Amino acid sequence: MKLAKVIAAGDVTPAIVEGDELRLLDVSQVDHVRTLTDILHSPDPMGLAKFLVDTKLDPVAVDEVEWLAPLDRQEVWAAGVTYKRSQIARMEESETGASHYDKVYEADRPELFFKATPNRVVAPGKPVRVRYDSNWSVPEPEFAVVVNPDLKIVGYTIGNDMSARDIEGENPLYLPQAKLYKQCCALGPSILLAGNDELDLAATKIKLVIERNGETVVTGETALDQLHRKLSDLVAWLGRDNEFPAGAILLTGTGIIPPDEFSLEHGDMVHMTVTGIGTLTNPIVKD
């Protein structure tokens, strides 16, 4: 089951995504349940979502509502250098920091960094930003896990970890500036609820398409079995001596890096597709 957060008839409403239609949820039916997060953090998100379907309302077409990023107050964190491709690209872009990327790929402790507060996260269809002081920026399409306050993985979504490669490459200590700025992250379009079955990692494909003036200029593809770490290990490291009363979303790193000569430009369109979740599309703004 997939859940989304939308604005329908002027109200912010969680919804179940069923193909091209949405079932809006009536959250007033249960005490203390008002938001998408309340559903995600409940003992049985799937059962609760089914119970909350507003049967008085017909299904709504997906293009009749405004889609919001599927989070409320969660912090957004990210893991880095979790795919071989990312390790190689980082070593190439950073003269001074190459050995750090090499070591962290193999180390027990992963690279984890704070990526965004909810106000910096943009919705599907809304612009993500290239910093005006960057001349080499790329999108990073990442499988993202949605974690409840008990550090249980309750769902999966798509995250765009916008990255200024020139700023990060100049000095690894500039990482927070390369990664965390206004409109630096997009999430969505929906959250695939975690079921009891193990994810089929090899079958979970992650794809990137970048368009410029209507032409495809970059494509890339990987699969979750190329991730060098277990999702549960990344979450366990995130939770070490830390707490997330509002839950957290953890981007698990990129396995797709555009060619070195490519940098995003104002007006580019970025499409990220993950099997079972959907496609996250955002235009690029640089001003």
**Binding residue (CB under 6 A) for ligand DO4 from 25, 78, 193, 284:** 78
In the bound state with ligand DO4, the residue whose beta carbon lies nearer, of 72 and 140, is 140
**Binding residue (CB under 6 A) for ligand DO4 from 72, 75, 93, 161:** 161
CB-based closest residue to ligand DO4: 80
Rounded least distance, CB 199 to ligand DO4, Å: 19
Distances (CA, A) of 250 to 7, 19, 264, 269: 25, 26, 24, 24
Under 8 Å between Cβ of 204 and 143: yes
Which part of the chain contacts Mg ion (CB under 5 A), choosing from 1-9, 51-59, 103-111, 159-167? Answer: 159-167
In the bound state with ligand DO4, the residue whose beta carbon lies nearer, of 140 and 268, is 140
142 DSSP β-pair partners = 159, 254
Q: Is 268 in the site for ligand DO4 (CB under 6 A)?
A: no
**Binding residue (CB under 6 A) for ligand DO4 from 74, 86, 204, 222:** 86
**Binding residue (CB under 6 A) for ligand DO4 from 14, 45, 70, 80:** 80
**Binding residue (CB under 5 A) for Mg ion from 137, 254, 281, 282:** 254
Total chain residues near Mg ion (CB under 5 A): 3
Q: Is 6 in the site for ligand DO4 (CB under 6 A)?
A: no
Q: Is 90 in the site for ligand DO4 (CB under 6 A)?
A: yes
Q: Is 165 in the site for ligand DO4 (CB under 6 A)?
A: no
Helix/strand/coil (H/E/C) assignment for every residue in the chain: CEEEEEEECCEEEEEEEECCEEEEECHHHCCCCCCHHHHHCCCCHHHHHHHHECCCCCCEEHHHCEEECCCCCCEEEEEECCCHHHHHHHHHHCCCCHHHHHHHHHCCCCEEEEEECHHHEECCCCCEECCCCCCCEECCEEEEEEECCCCCEEEEEEEEECEEHHHHHHCHHHHHHHHCCCCCEEEEEEEEECCCCCCCCCCCEEEEEEEECCEEEEEEEEEHHHCCCCHHHHHHHHHCCCCCCCCEEEEEEECCCCCCCCCCCCCCEEEEEECCCEEEEEEEECC
Rounded distance, CA 107 to CA 193, Å?
30
| Interaction residues for ligand DO4, span 92-131 (CB under 6 A) | 111
Q: Is 161 in the site for Mg ion (CB under 5 A)?
A: yes
Total chain residues near ligand DO4 (CB under 6 A): 13
Rounded least distance, CB 81 to Mg ion, Å: 9
Rounded least distance, CB 232 to ligand DO4, Å: 19
**Binding residue (CB under 5 A) for Mg ion from 140, 141, 167, 224:** 140
Q: Is 139 in the site for ligand DO4 (CB under 6 A)?
A: no
> Which chain residues interact with ligand DO4 by CB under 6 A?
78, 80-82, 86, 90, 111, 140, 161, 163, 175, 253-254
| Interacting residue ranges for Mg ion, rule: CB under 5 A | 140, 161, 254
